[in-house]
Amino acid sequence: MELESNYEIRRVADFIRSNYFTRVALQFPDELLKDSMRVVKALRQELSSSVKLYVMADTTYGSCCVDEVGAAHVNAECVIHYGHTCLSPTSRLPALFIFGKASISTSNCARNVLSHGLKSGKPVLVLFGLEYAHAIPDIREELARNASSLSGSTSMVEYFYADVSCSVVNPSETSKPANQLGLVDSEVVNGCLTEETSQNYSMGGLSWRLPKGRNMEEYLLFWIGMDNPAFANLALTFNSCEIVRYDATEDSLMTDVSQQTKILKRRYYLVQKAKDANMVGILVGTLGVAGYLHIIHQMRELVTKAGKKSYTFVMGRPNPAKLANFPECDVFINVSCAQTALLDSKEFFAPVITPFEAMLAFERGSQWTGAYVLEFPELISSTPSVVREESEEARFSFLQGGYVEDLDLRDNEEVEKDGMSALVNATEKALQVRDEDSQSLTKSIPKSGAEYLARRSYQGLDIKESNSLPQKFLSGRSGKASGYKHEKRNGN
């Protein structure tokens, strides 16, 4: 039965039974929602009636993350997450991830891996979308068979495979206070990425191990799966590696990843642009991924240290219309799981950047050497523990082609000390400035929300309206917004 295998009904039931969960939330992405009732029905048959099942859909943030807040509404004890996932660690609830099983021709895939591996001569590292995890053992086997049949004629090409780290995420391992988590993880991650001794890598739920003394650059990355955020993240993170993508649905090989380098360049531009920002909005893009609070605090601190003003927004999934409601922000930092963090900002009024990019932008003296980090634990660890020595040089802005210094840093620290009065001061200052040139069409650049408001030509309802008499009753428009009644007539 397809439903049974695709949704792994038996495994889910076993998981629930073995942990004695009684309230279980089933989280479906939009595209799988149509199957939800059948899945529930199938599970019902397996489980005793004491277990309550809840279907969750339309998650506030990306559907790849576990919606812990949603689950908390029904006091669920665990979440079963279906479909594509980023496998970000959860902070409160245990979760079981069911990736689903996408169909793939193992022989075609293996042939492609083999032929491409031979062509490049580099050792091949096979990575894959989680929906293809089920087929990997088969591919592996196939490949070994093919390779041995060819081994007489060719030199040895090494093959490495990534593993799915774990499809069950238990918060007990990671639910320590966030800052402690940072420390623990930092040791591990530092070991992984910067030192040569241990060679563990992990990303988007995959983990792999390389022999000592080898760099990622020496490998050919072979990605099996679609061109989705997971792949984009891979391409960004390992932007100096050669990457090919095998599309299983179309059974074709894509070797041209120039689009990815374009994205990287574009991100670089956004970082430069963020450097010029005066006001920064921090978007809370997740309430589930472990360490998100820590990152938000870290970002806030970073922004303040850079002499800029930060505002934190919780608005669910960001879209251009939502963000444009805050035109005072010059840039937004999207704190979310790795796979929803990259937003193409062309349509947005202000650029949206990731926390890593924010670190590049707001930390003095930091330079982009090509490395790219998206996952929280690595980000937390990459903050320098010692305060970097203030670089003497003024900041050079490539957008303006010269040195700029937006704020006197020392001055700003003083302002921060007496929080509330600072706002008043800033408002006053802004008001003065406005008075001076209320006649002209340009005004100085605002440095806080209060100053921005003062700069606006419209600042809200005018209470001092001189005419206090009640106004005459007028009849308004009637009809629908798509065309009011009187307009319909005009239009036709």
Partner 1 sequence: MVKFTSDELRRIMDYKHNIRNMSVIAHVDHGKSTLTDSLVAAAGIIAQEAAGDVRMTDTRADEAERGITIKSTGISLYYEMTDASLGSYKGERNGNEYLINLIDSPGHVDFSSEVTAALRITDGALVVVDCVEGVCVQTETVLRQALGERIRPVLTVNKMDRCFLELQVDGEEAYQTFQRVIENANVIMATYEDPLLGDVQVYPEKGTVAFSAGLHGWAFTLTNFAKMYASKFGVDQSKMMERLWGENFFDPSTKKWTTKNTGSPTCKRGFVQFCYEPIKQIINTCMNDQKDKLWPMLQKLGVTMKSDEKELMGKALMKRVMQTWLPASTALLEMMIYHLPSPATAQRYRVENLYEGPLDDAYANAIRNCDPEGPLMLYVSKMIPASDKGRFFAFGRVFAGKVSTGLKVRIMGPNYIPGQKKDLYVKSVQRTVIWMGKRQETVEDVPCGNTVAMVGLDQFITKNATLTNEKEVDAHPIKAMKFSVSPVVRVAVQCKVASDLPKLVEGLKRLAKSDPMVLCSIEESGEHIVAGAGELHLEICLKDLQDDFMGGAEIIKSDPVVSFRETVLERSSRTVMSKSPNKHNRLYMEARPLEDGLAEAIDDGRIGPRDDPKNRSKILAEEFGWDKELAKKIWAFGPETTGPNMVVDMCKGVQYLNEIKDSVVAGFQWASKEGPLAEENMRGICFEVCDVVLHTDAIHRGGGQVIPTARRVIYASHITAKPRLLEPVYMVEIQAPEQALGGIYSVLNQKRGHVFEEMQRPGTPLYNIKAYLPVVESFGFSSTLRAATSGQAFPQCVFDHWDMMSSDPLEAGSQAANLVADIRKRKGLKEQMTPLSEFEDRL
Tell me how far, at minimum, the Cβ of 492 lies from partner 1, in Å. Answer: 9
**Structure tokens that stand for 489 in this block:** 């007539």
- Looking at the Cβ atoms of 29 and 351, the one nearer to partner 1 is 351
| Residue 75, phi-psi category: left (phi > 0), alpha (psi -120 to 50), beta (remainder) | left
CA distance 365 to 378: 20
- 128 contacts 162 by C-beta, under 8 angstroms: yes
Tell me how far, at minimum, the Cβ of 437 lies from partner 1, in Å. Answer: 8
CA distance 356 to 359: 5
- Looking at the Cβ atoms of 54 and 484, the one nearer to partner 1 is 484
- Looking at the Cβ atoms of 2 and 393, the one nearer to partner 1 is 393
Tell me how far, at minimum, the Cβ of 138 lies from partner 1, in Å. Answer: 37
- Looking at the Cβ atoms of 169 and 359, the one nearer to partner 1 is 359
Tell me how far, at minimum, the Cβ of 149 lies from partner 1, in Å. Answer: 39
> For residue 57, with 0-12 CB atoms within 10 Å meaning exposed, 13-18 middle and 19 or more buried, which class applies?
middle
- Looking at the Cβ atoms of 168 and 324, the one nearer to partner 1 is 324
Tell me how far, at minimum, the Cβ of 115 lies from partner 1, in Å. Answer: 28
Strand partners, 202: 207
Tell me how far, at minimum, the Cβ of 347 lies from partner 1, in Å. Answer: 8
| N-terminal to C-terminal alpha carbon distance within the chain | 57
Residues in Cβ contact with 246 at an 8 Å cutoff, skipping those fewer than 6 apart: 109, 112, 113, 222, 223, 224, 225, 252, 253, 254
- Looking at the Cβ atoms of 389 and 393, the one nearer to partner 1 is 393
Residue 245, classed as helix, strand or coil, is: strand
- Looking at the Cβ atoms of 34 and 489, the one nearer to partner 1 is 489
- Looking at the Cβ atoms of 163 and 437, the one nearer to partner 1 is 437
Q: Kindly provide the residue ranges of all beta strands, DSSP E only, lying in 293-388, ordered along the sequence.
A: 309-313, 331-335, 352-353
Nearest residue to 28 via CA among 51, 59, 49: 59
Give me the residues that bind partner 1 (CB under 8 A), please.
239-240, 262, 264-269, 272, 320-327, 347, 349, 367-370, 392-394, 396, 398-408, 411, 437, 439-442, 444-445, 456-458, 476, 481-483, 487-488, 491
Tell me how far, at minimum, the Cβ of 486 lies from partner 1, in Å. Answer: 11
Tell me how far, at minimum, the Cβ of 411 lies from partner 1, in Å. Answer: 7
Tell me how far, at minimum, the Cβ of 38 lies from partner 1, in Å. Answer: 36
- The angle at the Cα of 316, spanning 314 to 319, to the nearest 5 degrees, equals 105
Give kind and range of the element (H or E) at residue 55. strand 52-56
Residues in Cβ contact with 371 at an 8 Å cutoff, skipping those fewer than 6 apart: none
* Type of residue found at 458: Y
- Looking at the Cβ atoms of 409 and 424, the one nearer to partner 1 is 409
